[in-house]
Amino acid sequence: MRSTRFTDIRRFDTIDSTNRYLLDEARAGAPEGVVAVADHQEAGRGRLGRRWEAPPGTNLLVSVLLRPRLPAASRHLASTAVALAASDAVARCAGSAPGIKWPNDLLGRDGRKLAGVLAEADPGDTPDGSDGPVVVGIGINVGWPAVEADLPPELAGTATSVLLDTGVAVDRQELLAGLLAALDPRVDALATPGGRTALSSELRDRCVTVGARVRVVLPAESFEGIATDVTTEGHLVVDTGRGRRSVVAGDVVHVRPAG
Ligand code: BTN
C-alpha cells in the first residue's frame, strides 16, 4: 500500500477516550497524522455529551489528529472526510457502502446507525475558528452487535453493525488500513477550494438526508422542511416552504425524519 501521512499509529488495549488522548497530544504539539486506536474505551465520547459504548475487542474505535488549513465555515468538512473514508473502507471490506446521515452518522442498509463521528477542537488553539488542530474520532460497529439481542433496549431498532448489516466478519485492522488510505487524499483535499468542492459533492451524493423531509432541532428552536442540498462548506440546506435555511453541523442538536 502507498504510504500515507498516518504512520504514527498508537494502539491501546484500554484507554478512556482516543479523542481525549489526541486532544492532549495536540496541545503538547503532536503533528498532523497521529492516530490513536483502542480495543476498549472506558469513557468513549459521543455527540451531545453522550457516552459511546462497545464491548472490548469488537468494534473500531479510532481518532486522527488533523491540522487542516480550512476557513472556519468549512470546518465540518474534516468530519466529512473521515465519514467518506469510513464508508469507502466498509464498502471495500464488506461489499456495501454505508450512506451518510447528515451531519455525521454512517447508516446500514436498513437505515440503522453503523458508525458515528465526533470532531473535537480546543477553542484556545483556534481563536477565529480556522486552522488549528482538530481531532476526528469515529466508532464503527464492526462485530458488535453480533445479533439483535446484544443491543441494550435504548439502542434496539436504531443501531447495527457491519456484521449484522452485511453478514461479513470484517477484520478491524484491515478496516483501519482501508480507512486511513481513503482518508489521506481527502485530507489533502481539505486545503484547497477545489478539493473542498469535491468533498462536499461526494457528501451530497452519499447523503441519505438530501431529499428527505426532516425536523431540524437547534438549541433554541426547531423547524421542518425538505433537505435539498449540501453547500460547498458541508452545511445542510433545508427548504422550509417559506425559504431556504442553511444548517451548520456544529449548531445542530438533531436532524430527524419528519412525520
Ligand atoms: C456519535 O455520537 O455518533 C459520535 C461517536 C464517536 C465515537 C468515537 S470512538 C473513537 C473516538 N473516541 C471517542 O471518545 N469518541 C470517538
- Phi and psi (nearest 5°) for 44? -60, 135
Architecture of the domain spanning 213-256: Roll (2.30)
CA of 127 to the centre of ligand 1 (A): 24
CA of 245 to the centre of ligand 1 (A): 28
pLDDT on residue 124: 61
CA of 241 to the centre of ligand 1 (A): 35
Element (H, E) at 36: strand 35-41
Rounded Cα gap, residues 179 and 85, in angstroms: 5
Assign residue 174 a region: left if phi > 0, alpha if psi is -120 to 50, beta otherwise? alpha
Rounded Cα gap, residues 201 and 172, in angstroms: 28
Is residue 240 within 8 A of residue 223, CB to CB? The reply is yes
pLDDT on residue 250: 86
Edge-to-edge, what's the strand order for the sheet holding 9-15? 9-15, 35-41, 60-66, 134-140, 113-120, 105-107, 99-101
pLDDT on residue 122: 81
pLDDT on residue 2: 64
Residues lining ligand 1, judged by CB closer than 6 Å?
Answer: 17-19, 41, 44-47, 50, 52, 61-63, 104, 116-118, 137-139
Q: Please calculate the CA angle 151-42-182 and round it to the nearest 5 degrees.
A: 75
The distance from CA 11 to its chain's CA centroid, rounded to whole angstroms, is: 20
Domain with CATH 2.30.30.100 in the chain: 213-256
- For the record, the C-alpha cell of 107 comes out as 447508516
Is residue 136 within 8 A of residue 79, CB to CB? The reply is yes
Is residue 45 within 8 A of residue 107, CB to CB? The reply is no
Pick the CATH number of 9-206 from 1.10.10.10, 3.40.50.300, 3.40.470.10, 3.30.930.10: 3.30.930.10
pLDDT on residue 104: 85
Tell me the three state secondary structure of residue 246.
Answer: strand
Residue of 118, 155, 161 best suited for mutating to test ligand 1, as the one with most atoms within 8 Å of CB: 118
Residue type, 184: D
Q: Which atom of ligand 1 is least distant from the CA of 139?
A: 9
CA of 116 to the centre of ligand 1 (A): 6
Is residue 234 within 8 A of residue 203, CB to CB? The reply is yes
CA of 215 to the centre of ligand 1 (A): 24
pLDDT on residue 183: 98
CA of 63 to the centre of ligand 1 (A): 8
Domain with CATH 3.30.930.10 in the chain: 9-206
Ligand 1: which residue has its CA nearest to atom 15? 45
Is residue 165 within 8 A of residue 143, CB to CB? The reply is no
pLDDT on residue 128: 52
Q: Which atom of ligand 1 is least distant from the CA of 46?
A: 2
pLDDT tens digits for the chain (259 residues)?
569 999 999 999 999 999 999 999 999 999 999 999 999 999 999 998 999 999 999 999 999 999 999 999 999 999 999 999 999 999 999 999 999 999 989 999 999 999 999 999 986 655 455 568 999 999 999 999 999 999 999 898 999 999 999 999 999 999 999 999 999 999 999 999 999 999 999 999 999 999 999 999 999 999 999 999 999 999 999 999 999 999 999 889 989 888 7
Of 189, 61, 163, 155, residue with least CA distance to 109: 163
- For the record, the C-alpha cell of 148 comes out as 439483535
Which residue stretches of 117-243 are H helix? Answer: 162-166, 172-190, 193-206
| Count of all residues that appear for the chain in the document | 259
Of 125, 155, 118, 110, residue with least CA distance to 139: 118
